[in-house]
Amino acid sequence: MHWLFLTAAILCEVAATALLKASAGFTKPWPTVGMIAGYALSFYLLSFALRSLTIGTTYAIWSAAGTVLIAVIGVLAFSERLTVLQLIGIAVTIAGVVLINLGEAPISSPSPTTQDTSVHH
C-alpha cells in the first residue's frame, strides 16, 4: 500500500508543478488553486508512504520521478526542448535512484541478547 501512496504523491506533485507553470506567476486563479491543492495532497500522501518506507529512499524516488515526469510534460505540454546534456542528466538521476534503492540497508532493531558495551560520559 505504501507504494500506492508514493505513486499518488508523485502524480499529485507533478500535476501541481505543471499547474504552477500554467498559473503564469499566480495570475490565473484556477491553476493557482489546483497547484496549492496538488502540493498539499502530495505531501499528505507522502506522509503515508513514509510510515513504511525510509525517508531517504522515499524522497529520492519522489523527487527523481517528479523531475523526470515534469521534464517529459515540459516537452509534451509546453513545447520545451531537452538538450543532450539534460537527457544525460535525466538518465543519471534515474541511475542514482536505482543505486540508492539497491544500497539501502534493511531496518533492524537490536537483538535482545546484544548488550550495550559503550561507555557513556
Q: How confident is the model at residue 103 (pLDDT cuts 50, 70, 90)?
A: confident
Residue 111 within any structural domain of the chain? no
Q: Are 101 and 46 in contact (CB under 8 A)?
A: no
Does the pLDDT at position 59 exceed 60?
yes
Residue 52 within any structural domain of the chain? yes
Does the pLDDT at position 40 exceed 70?
yes
Q: Are 62 and 93 in contact (CB under 8 A)?
A: no
Average pLDDT of the segment spanning 93-121: 68
Q: How many domains does the chain have?
A: 1
Residue 27 within any structural domain of the chain? yes
Average pLDDT of the segment spanning 22-33: 96
The pLDDT score that the predictor gives to residue 119 is 55
Does the pLDDT at position 101 exceed 90?
no
Distance (Å, rounded) from C-alpha 113 to C-alpha 54? 26
Residue labelled with grid coordinates 539497491: 102
Residue 24 within any structural domain of the chain? yes
Residue 69 within any structural domain of the chain? yes
Does the pLDDT at position 7 exceed 70?
yes
Q: What is the extent of the structural domain holding 37?
A: 2-103
Phi, psi for 60 (deg, rounded to 5): -60, -45
Q: Which amino acid is at 83?
A: T
Give the dihedral sign, CA 4/52/73/22: positive
Does the pLDDT at position 9 exceed 80?
yes
Distance (Å, rounded) from C-alpha 81 to C-alpha 101? 30
The pLDDT score that the predictor gives to residue 63 is 93
Residue 94 within any structural domain of the chain? yes
